[in-house]
Structure formats: structure tokens, C-alpha cells
Amino acid sequence: MTNPILSDWTTPFEIAPFADISDDDFAPALDQAMQAHNAQIDTIAENPQPPTFANTVEALEAAGEQLDKVLSVFFTIAGADSNAKREELQRAFSPKLSAHFSGISSNKALFQRVADLWDQRDELELSDEQTRVLMLTHRGFVRAGAALQGDDDARMQDIKSRLASLGTSFTQNLLADERDWYMDLSEDDLQGLPDFVTDAARSAGQEKGADGAIVTLSRSLIVPFLQFSPRRDLREKAYRAWAARGANGGETDNRAIAAEILALRQERAKLLGYESFAEYKLETEMARSPDRVHDLLMQVWGPAKSRADADAALLTQMMQDDGINGPLEAWDWRYYAEKRRKAEHDLDEAVLKPYLQLDRMIDASFACANRLFGLEFAPLDVPLYHSDCRAWEVTRNGRHVAVFIGDYFARSSKRSGAWCSAMRAQAKFPKEQGPVVINVCNFAKGDPALLSYDDARTLFHEFGHALHQMLSNVTYESISGTSVARDFVELPSQLYEHWLEVPEVLAEFATHAETGEPMPQEMLDKVLKAANFDQGFQTVEYVASALVDLAFHEGDAPPDPMAKQTEVLAEIGMPQAIGMRHATPHFAHVFAGDGYSSGYYSYMWSEVMDADAFAAFEEAGGAFDPERAKALEDNILSTGGSREAEDLYLAFRGRLPGVEALLKGRGLIAA
């Protein structure tokens, strides 16, 4: 019987046949797909004909189709709907996959063919896109250690295998801590909480099989609890549990794992001839060097800390007015900031939330994409991996563009955070294929589901990533969609957040869940005026995390990452009442894999550009200016990694921005 993962998918638009796939299918499918991929690689490497772009680089691009299918399905559900079996499989797959891809990158015969082509590139008459793919292929082999010999080569393979296993363990430990902890709430404990928080707490209790309402470590529940609960003792208990994820001792403790990961990364960089892992990692990014990253972060840190210190003084006074002496603590900040927002802006999140229905915000994100890029979205009735998921066909001028899947609700089987991935990337070689793109979020369920303003911003952010995938228009999958520099990849997502704040968008789509009435103009004005509220706090918690990440990777690996974290925070004068957005034991961006390691700064690097890029629309015909929208698609959204990121931005804007646009956008300096 054919394994359903490896069979021809006859589903609409060749979406994975989730209904036919069981957990028992994954291991044999992976083994078979890796075996097939290895055979393809051997054929390319051992080809007796001289290397050509077609028989080597394009052959590599075409290889591994079965493996792509297995991995796209497995890692989608492993992240968004895990269970004990899938976690076991993930632990088993990590070293196998590391060995598989290491075997390819260390294949000397294969690398020699690529190197020969690179040396002959000026005589090959390649297109610009082909030249780019050749350069990236050659660079990828070199940076993976293909030029290493003997013991160094063997050690590199061991390091990569161990890092893959450690990253999986880090992720699963964090998921276990988030899944297993919760705090029971009595009816008295619910006093003072708005209905949307109590409803979410009761829904969480039902999912856990608890007797009543609970608080979990899901951001969509714990943050509003910290904002609204008048019970300081409960806020402290919840916050301490949230901050302690990955650092509770026992089998799920991530501190030793983080130390080993940092040591192995530094050893890997040294084997490749770099002074530090940060130098290795940043070489291919827009920033290029740790010094440029540090300079950007410190330019922002000063104004952000000044604002946060001033805000802390005001919140401390509010707390003391409540009869509480002593310093403002991390479990107090959100509570008093929410009270201050209500007082200063007359904006109550409990009153605002009914205007931010999930379905209406999805409609808003689609409508903006329609006005900007002509995209249309029609619901699809197809089996997906979880009943919470929904799918749409994306078309333009009647032609199929993509399939978009949304998985929006928090659940204990889903890792925290929000992300976008392509289950199938856009490409024209070896055959034309439209992308299948998924957004995964962690919003609280409700009837209807209501979002905070931050939730709505997250929805637009992830959909910006989705547009980068859906509008991709390149030949080769290796440079498709979001296959760009890490400090450029957040530009489309952060830029798209700006459309949520366009008054006409909120006026049309921010409608009350019960009455259907649009958000009153007075409230709309308050929402937009308060958009930069508490930016001192938000910027400080982010920049602190980015600076710690950079410090971890700039020199020799710290033997005790927690001590290094403390040292960095002391050096920059971290305010006592603000915690890092991601402390080391739960810093999945940095330790679950290499993606954002030494690169968490990239959100801010991209924000420097996104503030400037949206200004380009405002300077032209407004948020929906058709010429600017076309320039954005032509130069950034459709081009993937076909050119250097800096060149793409210059083509769109004509210049590179300074940090002032970001500081003004966050309200940290006068506009």
C-alpha cells in the first residue's frame, strides 16, 4: 500500500491529504524519501559529464521533492498540533535529518562540481537569477563546511547533529512547561476581570479538564490576566511561572542546553575560520557585522530606556496611591499601564475588544491585500490537520495564485508564538507550482473570538509574511518568497502592520460583535492616538533580548549563559520592573534552531525600513497608492532572494533610511 504522504496528492490544489495521514506514516515516509534524495544526489555528484548549470545546480533544485512533502507536513503539525508520538518522532528525526543534509553538504564530488561552475561563472552566460542561485549554492556549501577535510570535517558533522538534537529538546522542554503549568481560579479570583478574560479562562479550564477557570502560560491568556487582575498575589504567581519557563529544574530545564548550544556554535564558527559565531552568522545579512548591529540597538536603547524610566516613575506613584509600598515589579507593570492607558486615553481594552473580532480582522487583512495587489480570497472546504484550521483559495484576475491556511487559536498542543510558513513554496522550475502558505497564531477562543489590538497587529504581521510567499514570482524555489536575509525578512510583515492603523480600514472592519455598529469615531481617534502607548516598555523588553542574543555570540561562548544575561542587563541598566521579552531558557527564536541566533535584532533592523517604506505611501497618494503598491510588489514581494536585500530596498525607495524614522514611529522622539 502506497504511503499517503508519498503518493500523488489528488486533493484540491494538491494540498496535503491530512485526513489520510497517520502518525505511523511519517517514519517510513521519511526513510524512503531520504533514500530517494540520496540516490538523486549520487546521480548528480557522479555524473561523468562536465558540470553545467543544468546538470548540477538545476538538478539540485529539482531533487528531494518527496522529502519536501514529508517535512512540510510533519513539521507543520509537530509545531501546531503536537502529541507524545509526534514529539518522539521529532526527537528521532532531528539527528537523522542533520546527518542527511550534512552528508550532502560534505559531499566532496558534489561540491567540486559546484565550485568548478563558480570558477567558470563569467563564461556560462547565465541569467541574473541563475547567477544568484549559483552564488547562493556555492556559498551555502562553503558555509556548511564543504571545504573542510579530515578531522575538521568529521567534527563539523558531529556538531551539526548535536545542535539539531539540542534544538529539538529545547523546543519540547519549553512546550512541556507551557502545557503543564496552570493556576486554578476561584470565582472570587475572577473578580475585576473583564468578560473576555473570564471567558478565555473558563475555556482554558475546559480544555484542560479542570473544575473551573484557569490561567495558563499561553500569551493570549496570561497577558490580559496580568493587565486586568487586581490580585497582586495572583499576578506575581502567574508572572513568575511565565518567566521561569525552561528554568524549573528537572528534565525540562533548558539552561544547560543553552550553554551547550552556544559552545557548539562558537566551535562551528572557528572551524570555518571566523572569530565568533556572530561574525559567521551576520556575514550574509544586511547588517554584515556585530558592530553595526550593536550600534543600531544602542541608538534605540537610550531613548527607549529614558521613556521607560519616566513611565516607571508614574506607574510607581499609581501603585503607591493604591496603598502598596515598595518598588514596581514586573507583575505590576501591565496592570498599572492598563489603568494609565484608560485614564490618559480613556481607552479600555475591555470596551475596545468587541470591535476587534477575529473574523472581521481576517476580512480586513484580505481587503487591504485586494486593494493593494488585486488579490481575492474564496473559502475552501478541504480536510486540514485540525478542526480549528481554515483555508482559502487566493486568485488574481481569475487566475490561481496560492492557497492560504489560517490556524488562529491557542491550544495546549501548539507551541507558543505566531509564525508563517510555506507548506509548498512558489517556483517555476522544475514545474510551475503555486504556494500553500499557513499562518499559525495563538489567539484566545471565544464566540465570537475577540482580539486585543496587539493580537490584531500580530494577525496583520503574519499575513505580511504570507503575502511575501504568495506574491513570489521567481524561477527557483531556493530563492522563493521569504528566502531572504534574516534582517530583511521582517520588512514585509512589519510593513503590513501599518495598514491596520489606517483609519478607513478600522472604520470599515472594526465593528461591534453584538451590535454590528462600526467603532465610534471618538474611540477610533483614541485607538490611533494610543498606538504608541507604553512603547518605552515594549522597546526595552525587545532590545534587551536582542542585546543578550548578540552578546552570547560575539566572542567565546559563556559557560553560564544566565550569568552572561545578568551581566549584559546590568551593563545597559535594565529597568527592574521590565523583564526581557524572551529570557534565555525560553528564547526559542535563538535556541530552537539557528534561524534567529545572533539575529533577533532583525525585527528592529527591518522596522527601520518599514517605517520609511510606509512613509513612501503617505508621501505619495496615501496608504493605497497604486504606484507605490506596484513598486512594493515588483521590487520586494515578488522578488524573493533573487537580489541582495539592500538592492531590493533601494529599487523600491531610492535610498536607505536612518534610525530616526523608527524612533519617530515608536514615539520615542518628537515627530
Catalytic residues: 462
Are 358 and 366 in contact, with CB atoms under 8 Å apart?
A: no
What are the residue ranges of helices labelled H in 246-385?
255-271, 277-282, 290-321, 330-345, 349-352, 358-373
Which set of grid coordinates corresponds to residue 504? 478607513
Burial 129-140 (b: 16+ CB within 10 A, else e): bbbbbbebbbee
Question: CA-based angle 606:479:275, to the nearest 5?
Answer: 65
Which residues contact residue 619 at a Cβ distance below 8 angstroms, ignoring those fewer than 6 apart? none
Half-sphere exposure of 415 (CA within 13 A, CB side): 21
Which set of grid coordinates corresponds to residue 622? 496615501
C-beta pairs of 28-34 under 8 Å, 24+ apart in sequence: 28/3, 29/3, 29/5, 29/66, 29/70, 30/67, 30/70, 30/74, 30/93, 30/96, 32/3, 32/6, 32/66, 33/6, 33/64, 33/66, 33/67, 33/69, 33/70, 34/67, 34/96, 34/97, 34/100
Cα 531 from chain centroid (whole Å): 22
- The three-state secondary structure class of 464 is helix
- Distance in angstroms (rounded) separating the CA atoms of residues 467 and 638: 9
Are 284 and 200 in contact, with CB atoms under 8 Å apart?
A: no
Cα 122 from chain centroid (whole Å): 38
Which set of grid coordinates corresponds to residue 64? 528531494
Which set of grid coordinates corresponds to residue 432? 510551475
551: left (phi over 0), alpha (psi -120 to 50) or beta: alpha
